Structure 1
Amino acid sequence: MRDVFEVLEQLYKKVLLGATLENDNQDYVFCLSPAFSDGAGSPVTSSKCTSTLGAQGKRQPSPVSLSISVAPVCLKSDARDITLLQLTVIKVMLTRVLSAETEFPAKEKYREIIQVLLLSSDFESKLMCMFQNADKLLSHMAAKCLASLQYFQLRDKITLSNSWIAFCQKNLSEYSDKVVYCLWTLTAVMKEIYKDTCSQKTEILKQFLTLFDTIFEVFYNSLFSQHFENPQETYKIVNSLICFLELLELLIASRIHLDLHFTCQRILFLKPACVLDVVTWPVEAFVKRRVIVFLKKCLLWTAGEDLFRGAAPAVAPPSRHLDVDTLALADAVLQAVDLGLLRTLSVHRKPACFGGEVQPGREQGPGPDHVTLRAASLLIIKSLEIKFQNCASAKEMKVHLQRFMSELLTFLKPHLEPSGPLHNPCEWLSRVFIEQDDDMLEAAKASMGVYLKLAREYEAAESLTQETEVWNHHTHENGYNPHCIFLFFLKNVGFDSTVLLDFLISSETCFLEYFVRYLKLLHRDWAMFFSICRYFDVTECNDSINIRGGITSLVQGRSSHHTESRPVAAVAWHGNAHACVSWASDASSESLNQVVVSQESHATPQTSSQPSPQAPHGLVDYDTSDDSEVESTDPCLAKSKQTPLHQEAMKKVRSAVGTSRHQRELSLELQPRPVGPKDSSTPSSVDREMTPNSIVCEVGTSHRTMKCFEELQGAISRLQNKNLFPYNPTALLKLLKQTEIICNKSMNPL
C-alpha cells in the first residue's frame, strides 16, 4: 500500500511540472483507476503499476517495475489517501491538458491517458458513487474531478457519457439526496467554460445547455414548491437553494455576455415570484440575504461578472426580450414590496464565526446587516427606474414613487437612526451605501434616472413651472433630489478632487456615466443647485450653534482641527409640506445673512484653507487609448473603454497624480470668492470679529464644489497631455468647462 502511494506521489510531481511521461498509457491508467468501487470505501482487489520514476521524479537509468497487489484487508485510511491522490493527479493532468503553457508532447500524452480512462465503462460511475461517501473531502474531490472531465470532453468535442446525463436528469427530476452534488458539478462545469479563453466558448456552452435546458426548468419549479415539514427537510432545501442560485446566476450571465437563447436562461424572469417567495420561508437570515443580493445582480445585469479571466466580454446588444424580462423582474419586486416584502425581511446582524457556528455566550454584534440593507435599497430604486422607463403617465409615476419610497424610507429609518437622526430624506442614500462605492453610484444613477424621467413628463405637460414648489417638495420628501444626493456624496469624500479622479479612472463603478449625467443636469438646473447649497450652509451653521451651545465646555477642551459635526439638511424626517417646499425655495435674507466665511476660526478638514487629503490610489491598470467619448452614457461602453494594460502605465499615473509637485498643484488653495447668483443673500461676507452672537462657518458648499471641479479639470488635463488618461476625456473636460462658465455668469450677470 505504501509503495502505491509513493509511485502516485512521483507521478503527481511529474505532472505538476508538466513533464513528458515515458511509460505505456495503460500503466498510468492502472495507477489512476479509483481505489474505491462503492460509496462505503471498499478497496478493489488488485492493480498493477509500472514506475520509471525516481524519488525526485527523474527518469532512472533502467526501468524498475513494481507489481503491487492491494491487500484485501487494508486500512480504510490508507485507501482513502490513495484515492484522494489519484483524483488530485487526474485533476492536475486535466488542468495541464487545457493549459497553453504545457508543451505539446506532454499535453498529448496526458490527453491520451485521460481518453483511455474515459473508455473504462465504470470510471465515471465510480466517481458518481463517491458522491454519497461519508467522507466529505472525498466526495468533494470526486465532484471536482468529474466536473473537469465533463469540461474536457466538451472542449475536445467528445460526447458526454450517457451515464452522467442520466444521473443528472434523474436526480434533478426526483429531487434526491444527490441533487446538491449534481448541482455543484454542473456549476463547476459552467465556471470552467466561463474561465476558459478559447474562441469556441459560446459553442461549448450551447452544447452543454442543450442537454440540460428542460431539466433545469423542471428543477426550478420543484425546488420553489417545497414544503417545510421537518428540520431535516429544511436543511436539504437550503443546501439545494444555495447551490441552485449560483447555477442560476451563471445561466443568467451566459445570456448577458454570450449570444445564447435557452429557456433556462429566462426562467427567473418568467417566474420571478418563486424566488421572491423565499423571503417568506422559515429559513435563516443569510439565505434571504443571498436571494436579495442575487436579485440585485440580475436587475443590474452584473451576474457572473467576476467569473471571467482578464476583461469580461462585452454585454450582448439590447433586445426586446431582454427589456421585457427586466421589466417583469422589476414589476415582481415592486409587487412583492407592496405585499410586505420589507416587513418580512430580517436585517438583524449576527456575529459571524468560522463554519457558520455561533460561539456560546458570544454577544450579538451591534447594528443591522448592511449588506441586506444595501441590496434591498438598490433593488427597489432600480426597479422604480426600470418601471418608469415603461410608464407614460407622470401622475401614475408620482403615485408609485411616493408609495414605494415611503415604504423604503420607513424600512430604513430605525436602522439608520443609531448613527444620528436623518433630517433630510435625501441623505438615506449616502448613509446606506457609505461602505460600498459601486452600489452607491448605481443607486445614485438610478435615482437620477427617476428624477429625469419625471422632469421630462412634467415638462411635456407644461406643468413644471406651475407646480415648482410641489415638485421640489416631492423630490425631497421622497429622497431622490439629485443635487442633495450629489452634495452628500461630495461631503462624504471631503470635496477631494483626487477621489473623483480615482473614480473616473477606475472601471469598477459607473461613476463616469453618473457624473456626466449630473453635469448635464447641473447646467439646466443651476438655480436649484445653488439654492440647496445655501441651505446646506445654513444648516451646518445652525448645527454648529446647537453643538456649541449644548456642549461648550467639551468643545473648549478640543483642538480646532477635529472632525466637524455631521452636516444635515434643513428638512425634518417627517416634516410638513411647508418645510419641504421651503427647503428648495429661495433662502431668506435673515438666515443667509448669518452665514459668514472665516479662515481663522472653526477650521475643519474640509476648509478650503487646508489642502485636501490625498485619496488612496485604488487605481486599476489601464491603457492610453483615446478613442472613446465620455458623452456616451452607456455603462457597458464606458467600462469597455477602460481596459487593463501594463504595470508601467500604473507607475506613470501614480507619478503624475501622486508626486509632491503635482499633489501641490491639485490641492492648491484658491482665494475665497462667492460662487453663485449675485444677490443680497450670497454667503460672501467675511466677519473676523468674534462676538457671542456671530456664527462662524467654513467656506460655502457651492464654493467647495466648484473648487473641487476646478482641481479635477486641471488634473485630467495634465494626465491627458501626458497620454496617461485611459480614455478620451475631451467631452468630460468640455462639461466641466461649461460648468465653470455658468458659475462665472451667475456671479457676474452683466
Structure 2
Amino acid sequence: MKSFFEVLEHLYKKVLLGATLENDIHDYIFYLNPAFSDQDYSTTASECSNTFGVQGTREPSSVSLATISGAPVCLKRHSEMGSAREIMLLQLTVIRVMVTRILSVKTEFHARENYREIIKILLKSSDIDSKLTCMFQNSDKLLSHMAAKCLALLLYFQLREKVTLSNSWISFCQKNLSEYSESDKVVYCLWTLTAIIKEIFKDTCSQKTEILKQFLTPFHTIFEVFYNSLFSQHFENHQDTSKIINSLICFLELLELLIASRIHLKLHFTCQRILFLKPSYVLDVITWPVQAFVKRKFIVFIKKCLLRKVGEDLCQEWVPASVLPDHHLHVDLLALADAVLQAVDLGLLRTLSVHGKPSCFGGDEVQPGSERVPGPDHVILRAASLLIIKSLEIKFQNCASANEMKVDLQRFMSELLTFLKPHLKPSLQSHSQCEWLSRVFIEQDDDMLEAAKASLGIYLKLTREHEATESLTQEKEMWNHHTHENGYNPHCIFLFLLKNIGFDSTVLLDFLISSETCFLEYFVRYLKLLQKDWDNFFTICKNFDVTESKDSMNICGCIFSLVRDRSSNQTEPSPLAALGSQRNAHACISWVSHASSEPLDQVVMSEETHVTLQANGLSPPRASQSLVDYDSSDDSEVESTDQRLSSSKTTSLHQEAMKKIQDTVGTSRDKKEISLEPPSRPLVPRESNTPFSVDCDIAPNKIVSGVGISYRTVKCFKELQGAIYRLQKKNLFPYNPTALLKLLKHIEAIYNQSMNHL
C-alpha cells in the first residue's frame, strides 16, 4: 500500500499537469481533508485510525463521507509519511492548485469537472472554511500564509459557482474588523479579503461586477468602522508598532482595490468612498513617526487616486475615465484635492523628511565595504510634487475666480519650490524656475508627463480667465513673469523636456506609440497652444539661446586655455598630443557642468551646438543611441517597428484621445487639403547656413535664432512627422495620426513664416 504522503505527491503531480483523475473522487477527498482543525499540529498526538495509512490495511477505495469528516488522523507517527507540517502544507498546495486549474480555461474539460466535483464535496463535507480560518492563529507563519491563500481561492470558487459563503468565515471577519485589535488575525483577514478581490479582477468572466457585489454586501458597513478605528489611533502610544504597521499596509492595499473596483467595475458602495469622505485620516499617517517606506506607500497611493490609476496593474482592459463619466467620483476627487492642499497649507511639506534611506535594488541595507550615495528619496519628491500640481489642476477646474486661482497657485507653488530646492543639485536659477519639473521627474517618464499635462491644464485655465486683459503689453509681461516665477510656463517645460532627450524625435515617437504615458494627450494640447502662442514661444527660445551662448563661451574659454597650456612646451604637436587635448577638453566640459547651473547633458548639448556646428546642415548630433532606429533602411525599419508594435496593443485610450483630437482640430476639411508627406524644402532660410567659426565668437542674432532652440525644436517635429508618415504608409502606426500630422505641419509653416520675416 502506498503511504499517505506518496498518495498526496502523486495527486499533486497529476493536478499540476491538469490530468484527469482515474480513481474515485471520494478517495482523493479523504486525502485532501485537513486533519487538524483548531489544534496546533505540533501539539496533536492522537492515534491513527485503521482506516488508512498503516501498512497492511485497506486503502480508502470507497469511504463514506461520514467516515471522512469524523476520522481523526495522526500524521506524525510514521516517518515514511513525512512530518505533520509537510503533510498539511502539501494538502493546502494541492487544494490551491486544483482550484486554480478549475478557474483556468486551459484545463481539459473532463479534468476540470473532476476537480470541481472534488472541491464541492470537500466544502460540504469537511467544514474546511472553519479549519483554514483557525489556522490563521497558528504560530507557523508559512502554514498561516498558505491557509490564507487556500481559503481565498476556495471562497472565490464559491462566488464563481454561486455557492453561499460560509457563515463562520463571514462572522470571523466581521468580528475582527468591527472590534479592531492588533492581533495577527486582523492582518490575515485583510489579506484574504484583498486576495479575493484580486482574483475577481484577474478573472476573464463577464460577471465581475455581480460577483464583487455579492462579496462586498456583508462587509461594506464594517469597512468604514474599521477605517475609523485604525486611523484614529495614536501611533506614538503603541509599544509594538510592527503590528499596527502591518495592519496599515494590508488595509491600504484593500482600500486601493475598493477604489479601483469603483472606477473599473462601476460598482457603488459606501466602502468604496471612505477615503474621499474622510481623506484627512490617510493624510495624517504621512505625519506619523513611522518608517519612510510607510509614508512612501501612502503618498504614492494618494497620487494614484488623484490620477485615477489605482489598480491599473490588475485590470486586463483599461477603461478611460472620459468614456463613462462619474459625477460622484469627480466630486470625491475634488474633496481629496482640497484635503491635500489644506494639508500642505498646514505644513505637510515642512514636516515631510526625504533624507531617509533611499531605496536600493535588493533591499535598503548597504553591503560591508560599500558606501551609500547621499541623496534624497526621489520617490517621495516626485509623488509629493505631483500631489500638489495635480490637486491644483483639479481645484482650478471647479474654480471660477481668476484672482483666487492666482493667489492659490503662487502660494502652493512657492511652498513646493521651497521644498524642492535644497534637494536639486545644482540649484535652480531665478531665470529657469520651470526646470524643476524635468529635474524632479527625469527618472520617471509617466509621472513627468502627468505633471507636465497638469501644469499645462493650469496654464490654459488661467489664460482663459485673462484673455480680456492680455491685449495690454504691461499686463502680458506681468502674466509671463508670473508663469516663469511660479514654474509652470508650458513652453519652458516643453523645451526642458526636449533638451533632456537631446531633441531626439525617436523618443517622442516611442512615447506616441506607447500606452504607458499620457504623452499623446499632452502633446496635442501643447501643439494647439503653440499655434496660438508662437510669438511667446519664440521669445523664450531666444532667452534659451542667450543662456546657452554664455555657457558655451565659458566652456570654450576653458577648453582653449587648456589647449594652449598643453601645446606651449611643444614646437610641433603630435597626434598623441592632439588626442590628449581633446580628452582634457572633455574633462573641462565635465568640470564646468558641475559648477554650472545647467545639468551635464544640457552643457554638453550647448557646447556641441555652438562649437561644432559646421556647414553640413547645422544639425546638432543626437544625444544618445536610440532603442529603435527609425531612420534605417526600409527593410530594417519594418522589422524593428514591427517588433516594437507587436508588444503594444491599440487601446481604447488612444482611440478616445485621437477622437478628441479630430473633434477639436476640426471635422470640416479645408479646400486645399494639407499633404501628409513631409516637405523636402529646408526649414531655415538658405542664408542662415553660414558656418560658425570654432573660435567661439558670438554669432549674429539672426543666425543664433535660426539654428538655436527654435530650429532644433521644429527640426525634431519634422523628423517625427516623417517617421509617423512612414509608419502610417506601412499601416504600422497604432492609430490614425492625420490630425496630429496636421498640427505638426502647421507648426512648421508658422516657423518658416517667422524666419522669412527676420
What is the CA distance between 1:689 and its match in structure 2? 4.3
- Give 1:137 deviation, angstroms: 1.1
Match of 2:92 in 1: 87
CA contact (8 A) 1:131 1:142 kept: yes
C-alpha separation in 1, matches of 2:563 and 2:274: 60
Distance of 1:426 and 1:129 partners within structure 2? 58
For 1:265, which of 259, 272, 282 is the aligned residue? 272
Q: Which residue of structure 2 lines up, in the alignment, with residue 467 of structure 1?
A: 475
Find the aligned partners of 1:247 and 1:12 in 2 and give their Cα distance: 31
Structure 2 length-normalised TM: 0.82
Give the direction of change, closer, same or farther, for the CA distance of 1:628–1:142 in structure 2 (3 Å limit). Answer: closer
1:509 partner amino acid: T
With 540-549 and 14-23 compared, the bigger mean Cα shift is at: 540-549
1:45/1:117 Cα in 2 relative to 1: closer, same or farther (>3 Å)? farther
| CA contact 2:35–2:73 (8 Å) conserved in 1 | no
- Report the equivalent of 1:18: 18
Q: Of the candidates 139, 148, 154, which is equivalent to residue 143 of structure 1? A: 148
1:737 alignment partner, one of 726, 730, 745: 745
- Which residue of structure 2 lines up, in the alignment, with residue 122 of structure 1? 127
Unaligned runs of 5+ in 1: 52-62, 574-594, 638-664, 676-682
- Is it true that 1:157 corresponds to 2:162 in the alignment? yes
Q: Deviations 1:120-153 (Å, cap 9, x if unpaired)?
A: 3531111111112222111111000000011000
Output the CA distance in 1 between the equivalents of 2:698 and 2:389. Answer: 42
Contact 1:624–1:723, Cα closer than 8 Å, also in 2: no
Instruction: Note if contact 2:18-2:111 (Cα within 8 Å) is conserved in structure 1.
Output: yes
Q: Name the SS of the counterpart of 2:467 in structure 1.
A: helix
Deviations 1:402-456 (A, max 9, x none): 0000000010001112577675110000000001000000000000000000000
1:511 aligns with 2:522: no
Query: Counterpart of 1:450?
Result: 458
| Percent of pairs with identical residues | 68
Among 577, 582, 602, the residue aligned to 1:558 = 582
The answer to whether the Cα contact below 8 Å between 2:613 and 2:620 also exists between their aligned partners in 1 is no
**Cα distance per residue 1:263-309 (max 9 Å; x no partner):** 01111011000000001111011111110000000000000000124
1:226-237 equivalence runs, <5 A: 226-228=233-235, 232-237=239-244
Closer/same/farther in 2, CA of residues 240 and 313 from structure 1, 3 Å limit:
same
* Cα pair 1:544 1:565 within 8 Å, conserved: no
CA distance in 2, matches of 1:566, 1:308: 48
Q: Residue 397 of structure 2 is aligned with which of 389, 410, 413? A: 389
1:221: Cα distance to partner?
Answer: 0.4
Relative distance call for 1:380 and 1:48 in structure 2 (3 A) is: farther
- In 2, Cα distance between the equivalents of 1:567 and 1:459? 43
- Classify 1:164/1:385 alpha carbon distance in 2 versus 1 (closer, same or farther; 3 Å): same
Aligned counterpart, 1:350: 357
Matches within 5 A, 1:623-642: 628=655, 631-633=658-660
Runs of at least 5 residues in structure 2 that lack an aligned partner in the other structure: 54-60, 64-70, 565-580, 599-605, 629-643, 665-676
Aligned residues: 679
Instruction: Work out whether residues 349 and 365 of structure 1, in 8 Å CA contact, stay in contact via their aligned partners in 2.
Output: no
Return the match for 2:303 from 293, 296, 301: 296
**Cα offset for 1:89?**
0.3
Q: Distance in 2 between matches of 1:127 and 1:182?
A: 11
Deviation at 1:360? Answer: 7.7
Query: What's the CA shift for 1:336?
Result: 0.3
* Shift in alpha-carbon separation, 1:325–1:354, aligned structure 2, 3 A: same
Give the Cα separation in 1 of the matches to 2:308 and 2:188: 27
Q: Secondary structure at the match of 2:400?
A: coil
Conserved 8 A contact 2:685-2:756: no
* 1:276 correspondence with 2:289: no
Change (3 A) 1:495 1:553: same
Q: Deviations over 1:447-495 (max 9, x none)?
A: 0000000000001466765501110100000000000000000011111
Shift of 1:684: 4.5
| Cα displacement (A) at 1:50 | 7.7
Matched, 1:409 2:409: no
CA distance 1:115–1:689, shift in 2 (3 Å): closer
1:26 Cα shift?
A: 2.2
Q: 1:479 to 1:598 in 2, by over 3 A?
A: closer
Shift of 1:670: 9.0
User: What's the offset of the Cα at 1:11?
Assistant: 0.3
3-state SS of paired residue (1:301): coil
CA contact (8 A) 1:517 1:633 kept: no
Asked whether the equivalents of residues 692 and 699 of structure 2 are also in contact (C-alpha less than 8 Å), the reply is no
* Amino acid paired to 1:8: L
Show the counterpart of 1:479.
487
In structure 2, C-alpha distance between the alignment counterparts of 1:746 and 1:329, rounded to whole Å: 45
Q: 1:70 corresponds to which letter in structure 2?
A: C
The 3 A distance-change label for structure 1 pair 353 and 630 is closer
Q: Which residue of 1 aligns with 2:6?
A: 6
User: Given residue 616 of structure 1, which amino acid in structure 2 is its aligned partner?
Assistant: L
Distance 1:490 1:8 in 2: 61
For the 8 Å contact 2:684–2:755, the answer to whether it is kept is: no
- In terms of mean alpha carbon deviation, does 424-433 or 232-241 score higher? 232-241
Q: Which moved more, 1:427-436 or 1:412-421?
A: 412-421
* 1:56-86 deviations in Å (ceiling 9; x for gaps): xxxxxxx999x99735657898111111111
Contact (CA 8 Å) 1:27, 1:50: kept in 2 or not?
no
- Could you tell which deviates more after superposition, 499-508 or 225-234? 225-234
CA distance in 1, matches of 2:149, 2:26: 23
> Which residue does 1:660 correspond to in 2?
none
Distance 1:413 1:532 in 2: 23
Give the deviation of 1:47 after TM superposition: 6.3
158 and 743 in structure 1: CA distance in 2 versus 1, 3 angstrom threshold: same
| 1:467 alignment partner, SS class | helix
Cα distance 1:122–1:613, how it changes in 2: closer, same or farther (>3 A)?
Answer: same
Native 8 Å contact 1:716 1:729 kept in 2: yes
User: Match of 2:648?
Assistant: 621
* 1:598 CA displacement: 7.6
Closer, same or farther: CA 536–565 of 1 in aligned 2, 3 Å: farther
Give the RMSD, CA atoms, in angstroms.
3.8
- 1:208 and 1:304, CA in 2 relative to 1: closer, same or farther beyond 3 A? same
Q: Which residue of 2 aligns with 1:497?
A: 505
Q: Tell me how far apart the structure 2 counterparts of residues 517 and 691 of structure 1 sit (CA, whole Å).
A: 41
Q: How has the CA–CA distance of structure 1 residues 403 and 688 changed in structure 2, closer, same or farther, with 3 Å as cutoff?
A: closer
Pick the aligned partner of 2:74 from 70, 75, 86.
Answer: 70
Task: Say if 2:181 is the partner of 1:208.
Answer: no
Structure 2 partner of 1:172: 177
Give the secondary structure class of the aligned counterpart of 1:107.
helix
Contact 2:178 2:225 in 1 (8 A): yes
- Aligned-pair CA distance for 1:37: 2.6
Partners of 2:2 and 2:237 lie apart in 1 by 46
**Matched residue of 1:439: which SS?**
helix
Q: Residue 732 and residue 174 in structure 1: after superposition, are their counterparts in 2 closer, same or farther (change >3 A)?
A: same
- Map of 1:190 onto structure 2: 197
Give the CA deviation at 1:391.
Answer: 0.7
State the Cα deviation string for residues 29-69 of structure 1 (Å, max 9, x = none).
11111233335224465468889xxxxxxxxxxx999x997
Structure 1's 565 and 325: CA in aligned 2 closer, same or farther, altered over 3 A?
Answer: farther
Q: In 2, distance between residues paired with 1:532 and 1:39?
A: 75
Q: Which residue of 1 aligns with 2:407?
A: 399
> Deviation of residue 198 (structure 1)?
0.1
TM-score by length of 1: 0.83
**Aligned counterpart, 1:105:** 110
For residues 652 and 215 of structure 2, the distance between their equivalents in structure 1, rounded to whole angstroms, comes to 37
The letter for the 2-side match of 1:6 is E
Partner of 1:543: 551
